[in-house]
Amino acid sequence: MSRIGKKPVPVPAGVTATIEDGTLSVKGPKGTLSMPTVEDISYGIEDGAISVMPANETKRARAFWGMQRTLVSNLVVGVSDGFTKTLEITGVGYRAAVQGKNLRLQLGYSHDVDYAIPEGITIATPDPTTVHITGSDKQKVGQVAAEIRRWRKPEPYKGKGIKYRGEYIFRKEGKKK
């Protein structure tokens, strides 16, 4: 029995949710997001909340229950508040800057890396070693952060590279004489 699935997802003021043609759409101040519904799960909108319940007693319905509730919650939070991931760049000469629709990264290669910022994502660089990625779609924000991080993952000896804020980098001791 899903514990998180039992709780209805509260819909804040200024956010509207509709279910039609097998699609759940949520509209808010940060845009509109939608997701396809699953036939094993029944969705209901009442009293300013979206409830998610299994439509039958199959194992598949119970397995999807909590996940679908979390996906609905991500839609509501995305259109009301949005999601942010922060990357930190460590290393001598490593830096980032936003230039128009591109993020220019200098990561110790012989050339600069230009990353085209996708639609629906906002990237800000308050200082050369910090990158804030913001958007309403949680999956898209995480994917963009992972793609940027992939250019130079943190290495375990000096810790140089791009890491998520709060990420622990396991450090190794260098060789001894």
User: Which CATH number covers residue 35?
Assistant: 3.90.930.12
In which domain, by residue range, is 36 found? 9-80
98 lies in the same domain as 60? no
Average the pLDDT over 11-30 and give the result. Answer: 92
Would the pLDDT of 135 be above 90?
Answer: yes
Kindly indicate the confidence band of residue 176, based on its pLDDT and cuts at 50, 70 and 90: confident
89 lies in the same domain as 63? no
121 lies in the same domain as 73? no
What pLDDT score was predicted for residue 1?
A: 65
Kindly indicate the confidence band of residue 175, based on its pLDDT and cuts at 50, 70 and 90: confident
Kindly indicate the confidence band of residue 5, based on its pLDDT and cuts at 50, 70 and 90: confident
- The residue among 27, 55, 80 that closes a domain is 80
36 lies in the same domain as 22? yes
In a domain, 174, yes or no: no
68 lies in the same domain as 116? no
In a domain, 3, yes or no: no
Would the pLDDT of 121 be above 90?
Answer: yes
In a domain, 139, yes or no: yes
> DSSP of 52-65, one letter per residue?
EEESSS-HHHHHHH
**CA neighbor of 77 nearest in space, from 45, 31, 120:** 31
What pLDDT score was predicted for residue 174?
A: 87
- Kindly state the DSSP code that residue 152 receives in the 8-state scheme: S
In a domain, 170, yes or no: no
Angle between the N-to-C axes of helices 138-149 and 59-80, in degrees from 0 to 180, rounded to the nearest 10: 80
pLDDT tens readout for residues 142-155: 999 999 999 999 99
35 lies in the same domain as 58? yes
- Provide the mean pLDDT of the chain: 93
108 lies in the same domain as 57? no
Would the pLDDT of 3 be above 90?
Answer: no
How far apart are the C-alpha atoms of 111 and 126, rounded to whole Å?
A: 23
How far apart are the C-alpha atoms of 169 and 164, rounded to whole Å?
A: 10
In contact, 11 and 50? CB cutoff 8 Å? yes
Q: How many domains does the chain have?
A: 2
**How many residues make up the chain in this entry?**
177
CB within 8 A of 87, min separation 6: which ones? 130, 131, 133, 145, 148, 149, 162, 163, 164, 165
What pLDDT score was predicted for residue 72?
A: 95
Bridge partners, residue 129, by sequence: none
- The residue among 28, 54, 80 that closes a domain is 80
Kindly indicate the confidence band of residue 114, based on its pLDDT and cuts at 50, 70 and 90: very high
In a domain, 176, yes or no: no
What pLDDT score was predicted for residue 47?
A: 87
Specify the 3-state DSSP secondary structure of 69. Answer: helix
65 lies in the same domain as 134? no
Average the pLDDT over 27-32 and give the result. Answer: 92
In a domain, 96, yes or no: yes
Q: What percentage of residues in the chain have a pLDDT greater than 70? A: 99
118 lies in the same domain as 153? yes
Average the pLDDT over 45-73 and give the result. Answer: 92
74 lies in the same domain as 99? no
- The residue among 56, 80, 104 that closes a domain is 80
89 lies in the same domain as 66? no
In contact, 152 and 106? CB cutoff 8 Å? no
**CA neighbor of 83 nearest in space, from 161, 128, 12, 139:** 139
